[in-house]
Amino acid sequence: MWDYSEKVKQHFFNPKNAKLLSDANARGDVGSISCGDALSLSLKINPETEVIEDAGFQTFGCGSAIASSSALTEIIIGKTLEQALKVTNQDIADYLDGLPPEKMHCSVMGMEALHAAAASYRGESLEDDHEEGELICKCFAVDDLMIKRVVKANGLTTVDEVINYTKAGGACTSCHEKIEWVLDACLAEMAGDAPAKPLQVAVQALAVVEEIPVAFDAALAEKITVIEQVIAEVRPAVQADGGDIRLVDVEDNLVFVTMSGACTGCGLSGLTLANVEVKISKALGEPYTVFPVQETTPVAKKEATYDC
User: Active-site positions?
Assistant: 35, 106
**Gap between the Cα atoms of 29 and 128, Å rounded:** 12
178 in Cβ contact with 291 (< 8 Å): yes
Helix, strand or coil for residue 279?
helix
Q: How far is CA 241 from the centre of its chain?
A: 26
CA-CA distance, 174 to 220, in Å (whole number)?
21
Question: Which residue spans within 10-86 are E strands per DSSP?
Answer: 26-32, 37-45, 52-60
Contacts of 9 (CB under 8 A, 6+ apart): 63, 67
Q: Are 165 and 108 in contact (CB under 8 A)?
A: yes
Task: Check if the beta carbon of residue 147 is closer than 8 Å to that of residue 158.
Answer: no
Q: Are 126 and 27 in contact (CB under 8 A)?
A: no
Q: Residue 258 burial by CB count (10 A; 0-12/13-18/19+): exposed, middle or buried?
A: middle
Helix/strand/coil percentages in the chain, nearest 5: 45, 20, 35
Pairing status of strand 135-137 against strand 142-143: antiparallel
